[in-house]
Structure 1
Amino acid sequence: MLAAGTAVALTGCSKAVGEPFSSGSGRGGPILPAPAPLLPPPPIGPKTPIPAQTITALPGRGANLALTVDDGASPEVVGAYIQFARDTGARFTFFVTAYYDSWAIHRNALRPLVDSGQIQLGNHTWDHADLTKLSAAGVSSQLERAKSFLWNNFGVDGAPYYRPPFGRHNGTVDRVAADLGYTVPTMWYGSLSDSGVITEGYLIECARKYFNAQTIIIGHANAPTVTHVYGQLVDIIKERNLSMVTLNDVLAPPR
């Protein structure tokens, strides 16, 4: 069902990468190789150093777009994002809420993309608690449990990037996070506004508003709307000559 949904979503951009192309000779004809990915690879060049502090956009010059995807409440949406990456060459940074079983369900499909660097994982806590309402020990537990999950399942811990749930953090939260290696609270410039169910039209309106050069955009793997508009998102990115990047593609984090 996911594969079919992704193919439909990409209709209007071009044929989905990975879909067999026949020579036109009918049944039994040779299968030609799939075309190149719809989206270009990340830029090659020096990465921009960043300090140990909150970021809301990609510093420096360029035409890069960092689409970051939070939570993971829906296994179907996580699976569709993985297929989207495979079909188009899209690059994402997932901020993983480790409590959701989506990440374990799709571990085997996701791990090769993490290993290759096409998908980056960051820490979005264990179960999406408001960290500003917890004790220092509670903050530490939320981040440590997610850190252990990421390492045990994907061989990365997400450091130095973490995204506090609801975007809420303070000096205590940042201090505890930094002690665990998370020195860069990662916020955003614009949002797809899809933490819950919205219309396809509104999501595309948000994309057209916020998909700009050197931006960090927040989306969510919670509701199916985004899985219906992948083709339109690709069109916007291509129209604006943007390159999808992970944070690791373009940033040199503090040592």
Structure 2
Amino acid sequence: MDRRQFLTLLASATLATTGVGYAVSGRATAGEAVPDPTDPGPRPAPVAAASPSLLPPPPPTSRIRLPGGGALTALPGAGDLLALTVDDGVNSEVVRLYTQFAKDTGVRLTYFVNGQYPSWTDNSALLRPLVDSGQIQLGNHTWSHPDLTTVSKSRIADELTKNDKFLTKTYGVDAAPYFRPPYGNHNSTVDAVAASLGYTVPTLWYGSLSDSQLITEDYLMQMADKYFTPQAIVIGHLNYLPVTHVYPHLVQIIRDRKLRTVTLNDVFLAP
């Protein structure tokens, strides 16, 4: 092996080791081999190590009817689907970074929106194209996040209706039939009022990233490792920044387990 071949192989090995990094800004970074100034021959341009893309969602022809009655807590049947659903929107920067994360990686998400937070208007220009394309679905999480089991029927209706109108006006979507009762709390009264407004599917979850409050990145990863499993509905939150620091790791778990991220509309037929 001559000197030029050796340097080329060394550069390739370095690049394969460093690969492509993902920054929360959404820009990819790649390691570069340092050229030898004493080598008079042509130097190959650095090439980033290939990173496998996420698996696409199943075709629309595979959609199934919504299960009748009761809350939705997991995706039915056996398969390779993961419904990552994220709630609230307390922090506008987290909403922006989550949305940029989806745009950069192709991850499909369902956002359960509390319209009272400015994050949903602050980020509408970035978010709207992903909503229009179906990559991000919007669901109703009430306007201001009260425990619906503790308020009157009229307040339940007002919370869902006000949020519904906000989503229609801001994003042009009908969020029905999916609503997520705050704290997961619902009862027959809540369900009946919601159903009268077209929200027939209380949408809960199988696993949680446990980030409704501020937690560490390490704990987030433990929760993702535990709950990113086939046919799971997993809940996360758009409230605190630590989750925005672990996006590459979340994607790697999804890739390693060969899961397909889906919205609820990817799985179920429209009622």
Question: What range describes the TM-score normalised by the shorter chain of this pair?
Answer: 0.7 to 0.9
* Runs of 4+ displaced beyond 6 Å: none
Matched, 1:163 2:166: no
User: Is residue 31 of structure 2 the alignment partner of residue 14 of structure 1?
Assistant: no
Alignment-mate amino acid for residue 111 of structure 1: R
Is 1:49–2:65 an aligned residue pair?
Answer: yes
> Corresponding residue for 1:239?
256
Spell out the pairing of 1:41-120 with structure 2 (5 A cutoff).
Answer: 41-44=56-59, 45-50=61-66, 51-120=68-137
Q: Is the 8 A contact 2:87 2:112 kept in 1?
A: yes
- The alignment yields a C-alpha RMSD, in angstroms, of 2.7
User: Greater Rg, structure 1 or structure 2?
Assistant: 2
1:251 deviates by: 1.3
- Alignment-derived partner of residue 229 in structure 2: 212
Paired residues of 1:122 and 1:159 also in contact (CA < 8 A): yes
Whether the aligned pair in 1 keeps the contact of 2:20 and 2:51 (CA below 8 Å) is: no
Query: Aligned with 1:68: secondary structure?
Result: strand
| TM-aligned CA deviation for residue 222 of structure 1 | 0.2
Aligned equivalents of 2:253, 2:19: Cα separation in 1: 10
SS in 2 for 1:53: coil
| TM-score, scaled to structure 2 | 0.82
Amino acid at match of 1:88: T
User: How far is 1:252 from its partner?
Assistant: 1.9
Structure 1: runs of 5+ lacking an equivalent: 1-11, 25-29
TM-score (norm 1): 0.87
Determine which structure has greater relative contact order: mean sequence separation of CA pairs < 8 Å that are 6+ residues apart, divided by chain length.
1
Matched-pair contact (CA < 8 Å) for 1:48–1:59:
no
C-alpha displacement of 1:62:
1.4
Q: CA deviation at 1:189?
A: 0.2
Tell me the distance in 1 between the aligned counterparts of 2:93 and 2:106.
Answer: 19
Is residue 2:54 matched to residue 1:39?
A: yes
Q: Does 1:173 align with 2:190?
A: yes
Identity in percent: 54
How many residues get paired?
A: 241
Give me the whole-angstrom Cα distance separating, in 1, the residues matched to 2:139 and 2:154.
Answer: 20
